Structure 1
């Protein structure tokens, strides 16, 4: 059954990062993309993703540079990290929940506002591709747990063991104290969010994660939630988030950032406002990280976070850069 067209002229992409007394504005490590600041010269194609996921963004760029669609680019791009067992925060090899199960969340959104999501998915290595099947082959947006897993098998996905020897040993070590905490550091990124604009100027986004390590069984963060971890509007731009998903959900972070861009704010200004909104609800707290990444229709990008350490990778005709967020809340 082909999915109904339920949202016209809208698309999603988001990722969040932030914490107490540090908000971040992004500065290029290399050459700044001058074309992005020229309103008469849209930057396209272009792809950006949270963190310095060079291989993922390179795969997406390969598709865009060959004339492919932004939707194909973001799906294939984030699949690179889902398959990388050395990345223990996304896909196969992700750290398990408190019961020792690896549970994955992902969503995807296209230029027309169609979107799909899977939450609490087990035994499937590529949740983003299952999310796309939900978008294209069902009348629904979100499938969860065993229902999502059964749907994946029906669509031809194979059952796989997602817990690796490395993550199994870490889990056994964690069980000795069973302490739950969200560590604020560069390594503690549990998401890849990706946004792309293709040669036609169409925007798409994808977000995928294994969630917080040793979370309560059944916990779902912002990453697979349309409007929270990811949002795209083809007339305006897209946003994605990384960090503590509960705080992003409370402000519907990615949707907020896209709406701020609709009102005239730049991606950078919108991301800064998104972080400030979260921190306004968390006065006197500095124990969590949130980071936002955004792109507008012109190909301008921006990012902001609570604590230092958030970066994003950018590929375009102007060059391939790792942009570091150097100002923060």
Structure 2
């Protein structure tokens, strides 16, 4: 599980002073060109979520239906400590989840700071389909979910609760922390730091179905030990997710505050509208984060983007090394390490 959070620290330069890093790859194809349908998600372990989505896509199903079923897999996985059930709580010990969806018609829905619900992505979809609103938050989101037949569940697993109680011993909170920082500290101290691990992640999924329609969805439990009420980019349309059925779609993972500040996914879709490939568009968004923060700060944070265009071409880019993604097409399933700015 920690492998998918392996955000390693590197110095950053760019086309404003930027060198493009080498790309690792494991998969069936060396090209970004794929045929429809296609599903792409953040992080290689989410290939299992892709597989669930693919069953619907391969049967000529709608992209949004496929994404909802795919994200259910990760939301219900207790070993994933940053999404849904099993997610690490806020500093008060409460697991709050955020999610959003956007379909081929430009409709969208989101829930934020939602507690006690196993599948927030489905609540987000109902916000889109059954209310005049785009976003519901906190108690209001929970009230709506219960009115739609969702049942309360305890999202805090014993493992997550133990990690939180260990964290309370130091209450050290660094939203920019990377796994390499922790590994170096542990080597020096020759021990594990209680409750500490890389603490920002999400599952973002995009799909192009057989009819040529695009949809996207995100789900997360947010930063571990965050301040109560904190919301990142994941449930914010235009930041953590954006879909334009004429152009393409994009989603994000990483330090949500940085992604919000550049409207990351909307930026990527607009770059694709102007003719850039998905990979090139993701790179432009990453460059904006680096430019805004400066190299010294940017080398200690992570943000990663994935995108797909109307032609079924996929791409990704991240600030620092360690981000990967999963793809499934008619050719099969593969994972790929994203290029990064170093």
TM-score (norm 1): 0.90
User: Aligned residue for 2:166?
Assistant: 173
Return closer, same or farther for 1:117/1:326 CA change in 2, 3 Å cut-off.
same
Q: Does 1:63 align with 2:56?
A: yes
User: Aligned residue for 1:98?
Assistant: 91
Q: Does the 8 A contact of 1:26 with 1:268 survive in 2?
A: no
Q: Does the 8 A contact of 1:24 with 1:325 survive in 2?
A: no
Q: CA deviation at 1:204?
A: 0.3
**Structure 1: how far apart are the matches of 2:21 and 2:103?**
28
Q: Does the 8 A contact of 1:104 with 1:210 survive in 2?
A: yes
Q: CA deviation at 1:287?
A: 1.6
Q: CA deviation at 1:26?
A: 5.7
Q: Which piece of structure 1 moves more, 176-185 or 62-71?
A: 176-185
User: Aligned residue for 1:30?
Assistant: 27
Return closer, same or farther for 1:18/1:212 CA change in 2, 3 Å cut-off.
same
SS in 2 for 1:168: helix
Q: Does the 8 A contact of 2:278 with 2:316 survive in 1?
A: yes
Q: CA deviation at 1:31?
A: 2.9
Return closer, same or farther for 1:79/1:26 CA change in 2, 3 Å cut-off.
farther
Task: Give the one of 245, 256, 265 matched to 2:267.
Answer: 256
Task: Give the one of 215, 230, 238 matched to 2:226.
Answer: 215
Q: Does 1:310 align with 2:310?
A: no
Q: CA deviation at 1:185?
A: 3.4
Task: Give the one of 76, 79, 87 matched to 2:72.
Answer: 79
Q: CA deviation at 1:32?
A: 2.2
**Structure 1: how far apart are the matches of 2:260 and 2:167?**
27
List per-residue Cα deviations over 1:62-107 (Å, max 9, x = no partner).
Answer: 1101111100011111110000011110011100001100000000
User: Aligned residue for 1:48?
Assistant: 40
Gaps of 5+ in 1: 1-16
Q: Does the 8 A contact of 1:185 with 1:309 survive in 2?
A: no
Aligned-residue CA RMSD in angstroms? 1.8
Task: Give the one of 155, 161, 180 matched to 1:162.
Answer: 155
SS in 1 for 2:35: coil
User: Aligned residue for 2:209?
Assistant: 198
SS in 1 for 2:293: coil
User: Aligned residue for 2:12?
Assistant: 21
Q: Does the 8 A contact of 1:97 with 1:103 survive in 2?
A: yes
Return closer, same or farther for 1:274/1:223 CA change in 2, 3 Å cut-off.
same
Q: Does the 8 A contact of 2:200 with 2:222 survive in 1?
A: no
Q: CA deviation at 1:18?
A: 10
SS in 1 for 2:121: helix
Return closer, same or farther for 1:180/1:240 CA change in 2, 3 Å cut-off.
same
**Structure 2: how far apart are the matches of 1:76 and 1:18?**
31
Between the two proteins, the alignment pairs up a number of residues equal to: 308
Q: Does 1:129 align with 2:130?
A: no
**Structure 2: how far apart are the matches of 1:87 and 1:209?**
10
**Structure 2: how far apart are the matches of 1:253 and 1:160?**
33
Task: Give the one of 174, 178, 194 matched to 1:184.
Answer: 178
Q: CA deviation at 1:181?
A: 1.4
**Structure 2: how far apart are the matches of 1:166 and 1:209?**
18
**Structure 2: how far apart are the matches of 1:316 and 1:217?**
40
Greater RCO (CA < 8 Å, at least 6 residues apart) = 1
Q: Which piece of structure 1 moves more, 213-222 or 186-195?
A: 186-195
Q: Does the 8 A contact of 2:319 with 2:340 survive in 1?
A: no
Q: Does 1:272 align with 2:283?
A: yes
**Structure 1: how far apart are the matches of 2:315 and 2:8?**
14
Return closer, same or farther for 1:72/1:328 CA change in 2, 3 Å cut-off.
same
Q: CA deviation at 1:189?
A: 5.0
Q: Which piece of structure 1 moves more, 105-114 or 285-294?
A: 285-294
Q: Does the 8 A contact of 1:18 with 1:290 survive in 2?
A: no
